[in-house]
Structure 1
């Protein structure tokens, strides 16, 4: 019997938690879509430029690195105006690119600090049926009507000192919206009732005592909770500073953990169903292969199978295709690893600046850089560039796919790219 593809594994698992999002291929309702950066869509464009295969291009107001999400003919993003004073949600028409909705969600009396590389609108929204969930870290979370952008509820109760601005995106599990708050002052995760915005559970990080021995700026992290089926139950995983956490998303109860050296974690854990692949954080990032299943308590000694420290990303999330893991460092070094052993099969420079996560399509991997170029390679045990495609500006946001179109958000514009 043919093995199920990584796409199928992700799509089946994630579709249970986003019932109103539509099927994979028809929508891209959350960060990295329904299948962790994979799509089975064929005939995506291989080559493009400002004058080739651009169906439409729409200039966007403000500054925001949140990735586009797509459902029901709409594309949603967030942005910040007035240097972070005014935080907005944007909605463009999928067919025409027309900006349909531009609504102020929050106004800041005091704007918190951020890193020059970050934006005040970096977390990616989630579309769930006729609702859109937007998050700006400690500056607030809100639920909007997808029809007109009307605010249905807001929650600005939970705040931490991000130091560098907001980073991680929320995740949706059944009736709960999961959000990680890992500041340099406090570290916890919460679940809000998605219908009301009221707190369902809050769990302080069990690693707080360990973090107290670290300088404050090494206690922070920017995780996006990810939900996997492990040992017959849903588990939400978060990469906090110095520790990977697994929680029961229904209750917030910690199930197990793995300790690693690192902080300011951004990349999401990914899995092939047998192993988890986790990037350990900033300064000296490593990627660890962690056995899936049977973990209890501190599973560091029992479940970590391999460690690799060469050209590991501290911003973009890897993709897994079969028995290979493909990743790219922020300095633009792409590499291919054997998922069973962590062995590097090849390592090549494709750019000098990458923050966006790669997209795995049929026989291709797309890497969008921050300088204006997308490099397309073949998923193989040898390095093979299929195309290099320039745009007028670079991408901090990760790509989306709907139908046979690529939806790319650059620093200044939104594109629909299609053959």
Structure 2
């Protein structure tokens, strides 16, 4: 049973990512990427919705994906992978292992390599925000997958990003594609294909900043962080990483001292976005690099997700840190670390930072924890009954905290130091993607449909 739970933790998202979060304001967030603090500033957004309440339109999903939708102006973009042809199961017998001691080691189970003969179509779609009508759809690639994925995951876990002029979509080990706002292909780039942990697939989304596209390619064979010229696709710099497979999306952190590109893994690392120079690093702990950091001008807050045998920690790192800032054994501070909560319970959804408080949502069980961002002290920890698995990141709007589980049930809490459950909303679909929001409307992307929710 433990093995099954562990596998499920990696069905990203993402971001997923999970995953993997999506945009939080009309345009600004898409310059940075899909996984930063989701504080919604929109006006006239609904507080209640359901299958027949405040639904402006729905559009059928074409293909499958755990990536989040994004919005720019009057356009909604989403990526997906469509199974064109499923190959018959093809079992490859593994070589028998040599004798160990007085007996034979049990042979490994046969491996199904039929995925190498599957045919998929990787595509990006653009919808009209007002009507849900499809404006254009572009096929980036059609052919065989280059890596294996978890049976519960998809080949389109990474969220696209846009600056309004160009749209960038990364499909893990398939490649990076850049389109103009009308769907014309500008450039494409193959970053290689490498095995992932247990063949579970990929999830980290690209980040766009100052006409540079940053892509984190962590895997079991050749991990690296690469910066691409967003206009031409030419490589500006590449940094090798002593990491295995990760799923967390990097963030650009503009703080009171400088601008940093922060990534998570077995270590948290900060890079100079211009040169790729390593600024600081620290040992993270936890189990899985899935959620992404949140930040303000003076500090950045992050941690890896926990698992059945580990609890996710939460760190606060001050702006201007330098070098190895890992606290000494048994310590919770260092020259760069303001505080550390070793058993904070960081999980798959990214944390939420709002008005000096950090909210942590559990992957399962309906637990929500609130910490003081200045001290790391626990403000409250509560459990909400009946909450399903949570993959999408929470968001805040009009002093209320929102989060939804995979069954489409949204819980609404009052923001602040006292826990108060305000209301619940529900849509009948399956949801792992985080929301997008603009022009008085939310965009939810389910397995069956895309929903525009507005008054």
Provide TM-score, normalisation by structure 1. Answer: 0.86
Pick from 363, 370, 373 the counterpart of residue 330 of structure 1.
Answer: 363
Equivalent runs, 1:129-208 vs 2, <5 Å: 129-147=164-182, 149-162=183-196, 163-205=199-241, 208=242
- Corresponding residue for residue 159 of structure 2: 124
Q: Distance in 1 between matches of 2:262 and 2:213?
A: 14
Q: Judging changes above 3 Å, is the alpha-carbon distance between structure 1 residues 178 and 35 closer, same or farther for their aligned structure 2 residues?
A: closer
Q: Distance in 1 between matches of 2:172 and 2:306?
A: 20
Q: Judging changes above 3 Å, is the alpha-carbon distance between structure 1 residues 292 and 306 closer, same or farther for their aligned structure 2 residues?
A: closer
- Corresponding residue for residue 326 of structure 2: 300
Q: Distance in 1 between matches of 2:319 and 2:280?
A: 11
Is residue 2:288 matched to residue 1:264?
Answer: yes
Equivalent runs, 1:18-417 vs 2, <5 Å: 24-25=25-26, 29=30, 36-82=37-83, 85-147=120-182, 149-162=183-196, 163-205=199-241, 208=242, 219-230=244-255, 232-240=257-265, 242-283=266-307, 284-301=310-327, 302=334, 303-310=336-343, 312-331=345-364, 332-350=366-384, 351-417=387-453
Deviations 1:223-252 (A, max 9, x none): 212111245321100002x10010011111
Gap runs ≥5 in structure 2: 1-22, 87-118, 328-333
Number of aligned pairs? 385
CA contact (8 A) 2:31 2:163 kept: no
Gap runs ≥5 in structure 1: 1-21, 212-218
CA contact (8 A) 2:36 2:293 kept: no
Superposed displacement of residue 285, structure 1: 3.8
Give the greater-gyration-radius structure (CA).
2
Q: Judging changes above 3 Å, is the alpha-carbon distance between structure 1 residues 309 and 393 closer, same or farther for their aligned structure 2 residues?
A: farther
Deviates more, 1:294-303 or 1:319-328: 294-303
Q: Judging changes above 3 Å, is the alpha-carbon distance between structure 1 residues 23 and 398 closer, same or farther for their aligned structure 2 residues?
A: closer
Q: Judging changes above 3 Å, is the alpha-carbon distance between structure 1 residues 170 and 65 closer, same or farther for their aligned structure 2 residues?
A: same
SS in 1 for 2:173: coil
SS in 2 for 1:29: helix
Deviations 1:314-359 (A, max 9, x none): 3211111112111211103212111123222222234120000111
Please report the RMSD computed on the Cα atoms of aligned residues, expressed in angstroms.
2.2
CA contact (8 A) 2:33 2:161 kept: no
SS in 1 for 2:215: strand
Provide TM-score, normalisation by structure 2. Answer: 0.80
Deviations 1:54-86 (A, max 9, x none): 011111111111111111210001001117721
Q: Distance in 1 between matches of 2:430 and 2:422?
A: 19
Deviations 1:3-37 (A, max 9, x none): xxxxxxxxxxxxxxxxxxx9944565368769721
Q: Judging changes above 3 Å, is the alpha-carbon distance between structure 1 residues 117 and 306 closer, same or farther for their aligned structure 2 residues?
A: farther
Deviations 1:101-144 (A, max 9, x none): 22211123234211234221111111112210000112111001
Q: Judging changes above 3 Å, is the alpha-carbon distance between structure 1 residues 298 and 28 closer, same or farther for their aligned structure 2 residues?
A: closer
